[in-house]
Amino acid sequence: MEMQSDNEEKETLISFDETPADALIFTYNKRWQTHLEKKLGLKPIMNNGFGGKEYRIPKKKIRMPLASRKLSAAQRKEMGKRLKRARHQKSPNRLGKHC
């Protein structure tokens, strides 16, 4: 008989210590599982039989979260101009004659 878990109980845990060894990721999340297996080529080292799987991954593959960039209106406008120029250079016919 399969136990049903509430979404609050379906967690994703990333754990590692200060040694240069690998990190462990345990997750119930299907998108994470698909990413770890198909994109990174990892195989689960444990399956708890209720949808949770654990993976071993090199710690260097784990990135710290980035802080959101705070841009002024002028900076956003300038970035928009650069993006428009870059898109035009990549595919000049895509934007048409009006640019």
Could you list the residue range(s) of the whole structural domain that residue 27 is in? 9-60
Task: Please list, in sequence order, all residues whose beta carbon lies within 8 angstroms of the beta carbon of residue 37, skipping any fewer than 6 positions away.
Answer: 43, 44
Task: Tell me, yes or no, whether 69 lies in a domain.
Answer: no
Task: Tell me, yes or no, whether 65 lies in a domain.
Answer: no
Task: Tell me, yes or no, whether 96 lies in a domain.
Answer: no
Question: pLDDT 10s digit of each residue in the chain, 99 long?
Answer: 445 567 767 899 999 988 888 999 999 999 999 999 999 999 999 999 999 999 999 998 888 889 998 999 999 999 999 999 999 888 766 555 555
The DSSP call for residue 41 is -
> Count of domains in the chain?
1
With beta carbons less than 8 A apart as the criterion, state whether 45 and 56 touch.
Answer: yes
